[in-house]
Amino acid sequence: MKAGPKPDASNDSVPEKAIFAAFKLARQEKAVTISAVARLAGVSRTNLYRHTDVIKFIENLGAPDGRLRRGTKDGRTGAIEAYDDPDD
């Protein structure tokens, strides 16, 4: 009986690779653009544009300055308050 392929990054789908790459860019505080995500994910922009939900995700993550948003969570109620830090 033949074993299946080993799970690694090369077996990830285009959306998985792109989302991982987008988060990596954001965590490094680099610009989150379609081109940068495609380059880091090792996929073509053409292939990436076939996944409109991923494109919307990347655009939202990258807007307006490409940085992750900040926020706090109320420990008692669980309410989340998000904000943009003007000093960032």
Q: What's the confidence (pLDDT) of residue 64?
A: 58
Contact of 58 with 43, CB cutoff 8 Å: no
- Averaged pLDDT in 10-residue chunks for the chain of 88 residues: 46 89 90 94 95 92 64 82 65
pTM of the model: 0.61
What DSSP element (H or E) covers 58?
A: helix 52-62
Q: Which pLDDT does position 6 carry in this prediction?
A: 41
Cα 12 off chain centre by: 14
19 CB burial (10 A radius; 0-12, 13-18, 19+): buried
Q: State how far the Cα of 2 lies from the Cα of 24, in Å rounded to an integer.
A: 35
pLDDT of residue 53: 94
37 touches 18 (CB < 8 A): yes
